[in-house]
Amino acid sequence: MAGVALPTTARWADVVWTVLFAVTAPVAGAAAYVRWQPARLRMAAQTYLWLAAQAEAHWHDLFGAQPVPRDEAGIRAALASMAETAETAGERFGLWMAMLDLDRARAALRDMPETSADDRFSRASAAWLVAFTEGSTPALDSLEQLADEIAEPDSRLEAGVSLAVLRARIALAEGGDWQAPLTAVRAAIGDSANVLFDRFLRQAMFRSLLMATTIGVVVFWIVVLGLGPHVAG
């Protein structure tokens, strides 16, 4: 690029500084935006993202490198290729719920195993979600008891966070404080939730700000290169 002749109205220093601005502003802005979030909202979001990350980890344990589907076409393709076994029942249930196909979600629910305490909790919480989606709000007492019966610490923690998400759903539906159940369990999940939240929010905001600053730089150079000769004249 050193051999490219710029118009007399522009200097290479201007090019360097505008490119530096286009990159630095989104980086700084995204970092500031993450830190600007209210502490309570940040804690609630961290809890939810942690549970989502656990769900994705379970997906990859089952399907390896196959990506988690993010849209309707991907969901339908995944369901079409998925064997209808007890092992895949939980994933099939989640995908059909994402499509709001409750009849097929119930069919997958019936395939979910009940061998372990963890299995029984997963099946019962799936049944609760179907009922809640249909408009009722079953009590959570039986789910809490099933969560307490889980012996493995990590699975019991995940069940506890899942219960917090269900309580948040109820609170949101009733116009209550949906953040309270999620912040109540935030301390139990450790520092990994901070990394998840920061990465998720920072990356999204960085992309938005990068697009905005890039447009701004392009407009700036259009003005400089377009009006410069007239100003010079």
Residue 130 pLDDT > 80:
yes
The whole-angstrom separation of Cα 137 and Cα 25 is 46
**Tokens found for residue 135:** 């408009």
Q: Which helix (H) or strand (E) is 56 found in, with range?
A: helix 39-63
* Phi, psi values for residue 68, rounded to 5°: -70, 125
Q: How sure is the predictor about 16, in pLDDT bands with cuts at 50, 70 and 90?
A: confident
Assign 159 to helix, strand or coil.
helix
Q: How sure is the predictor about 10, in pLDDT bands with cuts at 50, 70 and 90?
A: low
The whole-angstrom separation of Cα 169 and Cα 69 is 23
**Tokens found for residue 189:** 């999940």
pLDDT score recorded for residue 32: 81
The residue among 162 and 41 whose pLDDT is bigger is: 162
Separation of CA 14 from chain center? 39
**Which pLDDT tens digit goes with each residue over 92-116?**
999 999 999 999 999 999 999 999 9
Average the pLDDT over 177-189 and give the result.
94
**Which pLDDT tens digit goes with each residue over 22-49?**
888 888 887 887 777 788 988 898 899 8
Residue 73 pLDDT > 80:
yes
Length of the chain: 233
Place of tokens 């003005």: 223
Q: How far is CA 32 from CA 24, 90, 201, 207, 209, in A?
A: 12, 38, 11, 14, 12
Rounded percentage of the chain residues whose pLDDT exceeds 90: 59
Average the pLDDT over 197-213 and give the result.
81
pLDDT score recorded for residue 101: 95
Place of tokens 């530096």: 20
**Mean pLDDT of all residues belonging to the chain:** 87
- What is the pTM (predicted TM-score) of this model? 0.75
Residue 157, CA atoms < 13 Å, CB-side half-sphere: 12
> What own/partner pairs with CB < 8 Å and gap ≥ 24 does 69-78 have?
69/95, 72/99, 75/99
Q: How sure is the predictor about 1, in pLDDT bands with cuts at 50, 70 and 90?
A: very low
The whole-angstrom separation of Cα 8 and Cα 34 is 41
Residue 229 pLDDT > 60:
no
Average the pLDDT over 74-83 and give the result.
94
Residue 223 pLDDT > 50:
yes
